Amino acid sequence: SAVISQKPSRDICQRGTSLTIQCQVDSQVTMMFWYRQQPGQSLTLIATANQGSEATYESGFVIDKFPISRPNLTFSTLTVSNMSPEDSSIYLCSVAQTSGRGEQYFGPGTRLTVT
Amino acid sequence: LAKTTQPISMDSYEGQEVNITCSHNNIATNDYITWYQQFPSQGPRFIIQGYKTKVTNEVASLFIPADRKSSTLSLPRVSLSDTAVYYCLVGGALYNFNKFYFGSGTKLNVKP
């Protein structure tokens, strides 16, 4: 397993601003994922981030709104741009190895509130 | 893309065995079945994974029939601390990594 940390753990932001969420892993991993989870709801995959290539976004999510960086095998960032109250949610990163069977390990999440 | 169906919620009492069944009728030949547990305000936690038959670890057992169109997570002698949401996912083929999509999950409520 891997230990994943996220920063910040929570934030309150004003509409129209941007927030960058960091995801740090204690070991090198091939696959990193970003999810969004509304309170009481399931997780929705935003994008897959592989080192050395552009992130792959799911339907309904675009790079201009959620730019992602993956500079190395232990770190990734997700930016929520030009925020609106509808972006209020919990954002989670997870990691997996292509050499594994797909089991994912999740960070603790970032709780974002947009006012 | 394999879609999963689970009961929305289940109730149990401390000390009972709980079985949560997940349907995945269009599972692919090289897909694995993985279960996660999520507590409020935390990220999901990997519980168990299997491909066929039965898998057991220190936390749970996973039963998969021969046709693999369903799976059952078994939690022995649950306690109040097992109250959580449990998600079933399929995918993650070796060397051909598939994306995972979380279904609605099953909210397990363990009562004293």
Q: Is the pLDDT of residue A108 over 80?
A: yes
Dist. CA A102–CA B32, nearest whole Å: 8
Q: What does DSSP assign to residue B98? A: P
Instruction: Check: CB of residue B105 under 8 Å from CB of residue B10.
Output: no
Chain A contact residues (CB < 8 Å to B): 1, 4, 31, 33, 35, 42-45, 48, 58, 92, 94, 96, 98-109, 111
pLDDT at B95 (0 to 100): 43
CA distances from B38 to A59, A79, A105, B29, B78 (A): 25, 24, 12, 27, 15
Phi, psi of A61 (to 5 degrees): -125, 135
- Sequence-ordered list of residues with C-beta below 8 angstroms from that of B38, at least 6 positions apart, any chain: B44, B45, B84, B85, B86, B87, B105
pLDDT at A31 (0 to 100): 86
User: Looking at CA atoms only, how far is residue B21 from chain A in angstroms?
Assistant: 18
B residues 29-88 lying closer than 8 A (beta carbon) to A = 32, 34, 36, 41-46, 49, 51, 87
Dist. CA B41–CA B3, nearest whole Å: 25
Range A99-104 average pLDDT: 74
pLDDT at B97 (0 to 100): 53
Residue in A112, A95, A115, A103 with CA at minimum distance from that of residue A7:
A112
Range B59-85 average pLDDT: 96
CB count within 10 Å of CB A49 equals: 23
The more confidently predicted of residues A104 and B54 is B54
Phi, psi of B60 (to 5 degrees): -155, 175
Phi, psi of B102 (to 5 degrees): -80, 130
Q: Is the pLDDT of residue A71 over 50?
A: yes
Q: Does B13 touch chain A (CB under 8 A)?
A: no
Q: Supply B35's token pair.
A: 């279960």
Residue in A89, A67, A75, A74 with CA at minimum distance from that of residue A22:
A75
pLDDT at A26 (0 to 100): 95
B-chain residues near A99 (CB < 8 A): 94
- Sequence-ordered list of residues with C-beta below 8 angstroms from that of A17, at least 6 positions apart, any chain: A82, A83
